[in-house]
Amino acid sequence: MGINRNNNFRNLTINDKANYWPYGGTFFSSPTGRFSDGLLVPDFLAMKLKIPLWKPYLASGGEHEFLHGAKFAGGGSAALGDLGIPGRKVATVLKQSLGDMEAKKLLMEAVYAFSIGTNDYASFAKTYPFANATKQQEYVHMVIGKLTDVIKEIYKIGGRKFAMHNVGPWGCMPRLRQYFGLSNNKCHDGLLTIARMHNDALSNAAMEIESQLAGFKYLIFDVYNSALIRIERFKESIIAYRGNNCGIEPYELCSNPNDHIFFHGAHPTEHCYKQMARLIWEGGPNVTKPYNMKQLFALEVKDIEN
Ligand SMILES: *[C@@H]1O[C@H](CO)[C@@H](O)[C@H](O)[C@H]1NC(C)=O
Ligand SMILES: *[C@@H]1O[C@H](CO)[C@@H](O)[C@H](O)[C@H]1NC(C)=O
Ligand SMILES: *[C@@H]1O[C@H](CO)[C@@H](O)[C@H](O)[C@H]1NC(C)=O
Domains in the chain: boundaries: 40-298
Axis-axis angle for helices 100-109, 89-98 (nearest 10): 130
Ligand in nearest proximity to the CA of 275: 3
Please write the tens of the pLDDT for every residue from 252-303: 566 666 767 776 666 778 888 899 999 999 999 999 999 999 999 999 876 5
Residues 6+ apart with CB under 8 A from 125: 131, 191, 194
* CA-closest residue to ligand 3 atom 1: 286
- Cα dihedral value 138, 206, 195, 274, nearest 10: -150
Element (H, E) at 163: strand 161-165
Global pTM reads: 0.80
Give the integer Cα–Cα distance in Å for 303 and 283: 22
Give the residue among 22, 25, 27 at the shortest CA–CA distance from 243: 22
Confidence of residue 248 (pLDDT cuts 50, 70, 90): low
Helix locations, the chain, DSSP H? 41-48, 89-98, 100-109, 118-127, 133-157, 174-179, 189-212, 223-234, 270-282, 293-298, 301-305
Cα angle: 122, vertex 166, 56; to 5 degrees = 75
Q: Is the CB of 132 under 6 A from ligand 2?
A: yes
Q: Minimal CA–CA distance to 41: which of 289, 244, 271?
A: 271
Which ligand places an atom closest to the C-alpha of 284? 3
Nearest ligand to residue 13 Cα:
1
pLDDT tens across 144-190, in order? 999 999 899 889 989 999 999 999 998 988 778 778 888 767 889 99
CA of 122 to the centre of ligand 3 (A): 28
Exposure string (b/e) for 70-83, b if CB count within 10 Å is 16 or more? bbbbbbbbbbbeeb
Give distance in angstroms: CA of 148 to centre of ligand 2: 26
Spatial separation of the C-alpha atoms in residues 52 and 65, rounded to whole Å: 10
Best residue among 286, 288, 289, 292 to mutate for probing ligand 3, ranked by most atoms within 8 Å of CB: 286
Is the domain defined by 40-298 classed in CATH 1.20.120? no
Q: Rounded distance, CA 272 to CA 195, Å?
A: 20
Q: SS3 of 162, please? A: strand
For the stretch 46-72, pLDDT in tens is 899 888 877 766 666 554 567 777 766
